[in-house]
Amino acid sequence: MSVNLYQTGVSGLLAAQQQLATTGHNIANVNTEGYNRQRAEQNAAIGIYSGGGNFIGSGTYIQDITRIYDQFSYKEQLLNQGNLGFADSLHIDLNQLNEVMSFSGTSINNSIDKFYQTMNSIADNPSDLGLRSIALSQAEILSSDFRSLNENIDQMEKSANGEIQLMADKITKISYELAKINDQILQNNDLTIHGQPNDLLDRRDQLVSELGEYTTVNTIEDANGVMTVMIGSGSTLVAGITPLSLTIEAGDPDPLKTKLQLNSPNGKVALNSATMGGALGAKFEFRDEHLPKLRSEMNRLAMAISHTLNEGQADGLDLNKQQGLNLFTDINTPALMKGRIAEFSSNTGTLEASINVTDVALLPTDEFQVEWDGTNYLMTNLTDQTSQTLVLTPPNSYDTGLGFSLVIDSGAPAISDKFIVRPTENSAALMQVTLKQGDGIAASTSIESTASQNNVSSGELNIITMDDPVAARNFVNVTNSGLIIDVYQNGANYDYRIYDAGVTPPNPPSTAGAITSGSFPLGSTAVVDLPPAPATMAFQIELSGDPVGQGPLAPEVFEINDAFGIGNGGNAVMMALTQEQGVLNNGKETFGQNIGKSTARVGSNAKSAELVADTAQALFTQAYNRNQATSGVNLDEEAANMMKFQQAYQASSRIISVANTIFDTLLAAV
């Protein structure tokens, strides 16, 4: 009897000892990240048959040390962990981009305003060389602001690539650690007995949670407790005890647009960065969507400003009576044209191509892919996936209808050769002031039109195109001694004649001696090239309105004369007016409106990302708290357990002491 009592006491003592050890383990790991509290599962030992149908209890034993683990709450926490990693990372990056754009956008807008202020001043006082020098200085500041913003975007792109590399290295490290733990679990797991390596399982789940910060994670456990880990859209990162590594490969055709690659002993597999999720997916979205969008918008704005002011320069004469030279870098230099197209490394053809910008008002900010199918060039917009077949404009140009054309410079493509086209590429990075002397600013118009004081109608004559102001001035002032244009109503039409001002026009309807003549319907307009063909056109005039004279055959008369003078600021006025003209997005946006729209879009994205990050944080906190309510260590509960198991230990010790006394008594009796 005393022996059985002794064994019963020992079993209780051992059980209480294991309970105390488990409770102590829980208390010691209360601050261990990822720790799941453990519980000693205690059962009664099978009773001993004592005869007469009675079974006497023989004590207790600890059946298992279990981990208090809720798979569903853990999966919910893991899912929200990935969402939080994505939202936080994107919010941080977009907030930084917003800060850069807020500063740079304001700086560029102020530089635009200051440059146009100097152009207005030159229009008022075109002979002032000091004002001209200030205008060039402001142009330098403006181009510098664009280059500075482009450099900031470059730096953010490099930073994103660096962080992507670090995350890939971290994921690879986690992969190897998970495979190692799987191996340890496999070695320690004996299916013939109870028990699991709880602390190894906790460590493995903690690594999976850490992995979930970087990418979307899914896991599957086999019968041996070995876990297969998949990332992104289902790519296996850990296959049992075999780890795979994640590496970064240079992009094609853009090496800075790096890509993910999953490496196994049997080969390599490219991963879709758009489906990675977590902080890694956010980095790719920031680098591949938000940064290129802003860069393209700023490139287009820099291109539009350069082209508009260069065209304004070309319309006028400088102080040396010469056609104005470009103020900024020509938007279609060979370097810029070549930089707008890149070929894939897999191409086998010899084609050399470039992109010529034809209309900045139509120019999009999208990226395109051009593929040769053996017969045609197929161009696909990579933003909305719309496609079109390009049609040849002889001899070697394919107009896209989007403000740019594909120019075949040399060579020939092979079937399936592909190219990436970015129509605005490098416009901000390569924007430079090419005009070095203030007297080169073309403030003066070369010719001007005036209406006769005897005109009584609403008819107008305007100079609408100026291709060559020097040739135009020579045609008006040297070839001719000024031009006279008269317009007569002739039934349902207006007839016009253009004469040298030194010639007296004959009475109508004769056109004898006229430089050129023609007619246009009432309510319409006439556009006339001068000099007329076959000579090269220098400028165009437009007759509009209703030039009805005072009676039958009474003409409305206009004159075109030389206008050059150091005090003539007419062309500077026209250049200054471009600040308020719609130039971008089909002529709907001014320069200021365009940069304001871009700045507002970046700010809106940053604010939206902040709200998404706050929501993701709240959802993760809720999921974490739910998981902790089940699996976390409660110190109050563990303290109560400690007292309970301590008392059980003491009571079991007392049983052993009683059994020992009884045994001693029996020995003494014998």
**Arithmetic mean of pLDDT, 176-187:** 92
The number of angstroms, rounded, from the C-alpha of 497 to the middle of its chain's C-alpha atoms is 57
**Arithmetic mean of pLDDT, 569-579:** 95
- Point out the least confidently predicted range of 49-53, 197-201, 357-361, 453-457: 49-53
- Beta-sheet strand order (sheet of 352-357): 352-357, 404-410, 397-399, 391-393
Q: What is the pTM of this model?
A: 0.89
Per-residue model confidence (pLDDT) at position 51: 64
Whether the pLDDT of residue 2 is over 90: the answer is no
Per-residue model confidence (pLDDT) at position 223: 84
**Arithmetic mean of pLDDT, 209-231:** 92
* 49-50-53 Cα angle (round to 5): 75
pLDDT digits (tens, 9 = 90+) for 108-126: 999 999 999 999 999 999 9
- The 3-state DSSP class for residue 562 equals strand
Per-residue model confidence (pLDDT) at position 407: 97
**Arithmetic mean of pLDDT, 581-595:** 94
- For residue 108, the number of C-alpha atoms closer than 13 Å in the C-beta half-sphere is 28
**Arithmetic mean of pLDDT, 69-94:** 94
Per-residue model confidence (pLDDT) at position 46: 83
Q: What residues are paired with 264 via a beta bridge? A: 267
Per-residue model confidence (pLDDT) at position 388: 96
pLDDT band at 193 (very low <50, low <70, confident <90, very high): low
pLDDT digits (tens, 9 = 90+) for 343-378: 999 999 999 999 999 999 999 999 999 999 999 999
How many Cβ atoms are within 10 Å of 104's Cβ, its own excluded?
22
Residue type, 491: G
Report the share of the chain in percent with pLDDT over 90: 80
- Point out the least confidently predicted range of 48-52, 69-73, 162-166: 48-52
Q: What residues are paired with 219 via a beta bridge? A: 229
Whether the pLDDT of residue 50 is over 80: the answer is no
Per-residue model confidence (pLDDT) at position 508: 76
pLDDT digits (tens, 9 = 90+) for 385-417: 999 999 999 999 999 999 999 999 999 999 999
pLDDT band at 189 (very low <50, low <70, confident <90, very high): low
pLDDT digits (tens, 9 = 90+) for 322-347: 999 999 999 999 999 999 999 999 99
Whether the pLDDT of residue 533 is over 80: the answer is yes
Q: CB-based burial of residue 524 (10 Å sphere; 0-12 exposed, 13-18 middle, 19+ buried)?
A: exposed
| Rounded CA separation 270/181 (Å) | 27
Whether the pLDDT of residue 52 is over 80: the answer is no
pLDDT band at 4 (very low <50, low <70, confident <90, very high): confident
Which contacts of 493-497 are long-range, i.e. CB under 8 A and separated by 24 or more positions? 493/519, 493/520, 493/521, 493/522, 494/519, 494/520, 494/521, 494/522, 494/526, 494/543, 494/547, 495/519, 496/520, 496/526, 496/528, 496/543
How much is the mean pLDDT over the chain? 92
Per-residue model confidence (pLDDT) at position 3: 55
Whether the pLDDT of residue 656 is over 90: the answer is no
**Arithmetic mean of pLDDT, 558-581:** 95
